[in-house]
Copies of this chain bind each other. A is one copy, B any other.
Amino acid sequence: MAISLTEARTIIAKALEKGRELDLKPLSVVVLDSGGHVKAFEREDGASPGRFAIAHGKAYGSIMLGLAGTAQMQRAESQTYFMDAMNGLFGGRVVPVPGGVLVRNDADEVIGAVGVTGDSSDNDAIAAVAGIAAAGLTGEI
């Protein structure tokens, strides 16, 4: 199953709502499909202009490697040259920190990824997971 635009809209709306509830800094949220292609994105007023690339990099690396942000960060810390090599392969578009979250359906298949940026990486991940859960899907941080 491909992730639908309706699901992507729910994920973004609810991730931003969670950010407001926790009083986080302005957030940016991207939803990618299972091939790593952008399905939807929103950047809140007040967020810095580079936030699309950062949100995208968190989600894109998650999809391409099949590893969410937390696992990527662990690999980056234990074997820096490996994540450097990944960025060489994928055009420098991999951001290996929390806030990149894999989206799984009921059959446990990866149907997309969410990238959130704007607050601390851990808070970014909390907002992402809230949005994914609101769409009836499961987030792997």
Contacts and interface: CB of A to CB of B under 8 A. Distances in A.
Given A83-B81, A93-B88, A39 B50 contact: no
Interface of A: 2, 4-5, 8-9, 33-45, 47-50, 52-54, 57, 63-67, 76-77, 79-97, 110
A122 B95 CA distance: 25
A63 B85 CA distance: 16
A9 B13 CA distance: 11
A94 B87 contact: no
6 contacts: A5-B42, A36-B49, A37-B50, A37-B52, A48-B64, A76-B81
A69 B47 CA distance: 18
Contacts of A79: 97
Q: What number of copies of this chain does the assembly contain?
A: 4
Main secondary structure of the interface of A (DSSP, over half): mixed
A63 B48 contact: yes
A35 B38 contact: no
Name which of A5, A79, A93 has the most chain B CB atoms within 10 A of its CB.
Answer: A5
A9 B44 CA distance: 11
Contact of A35 (B49, B87, B89, B93): B49
A72 B52 CA distance: 18
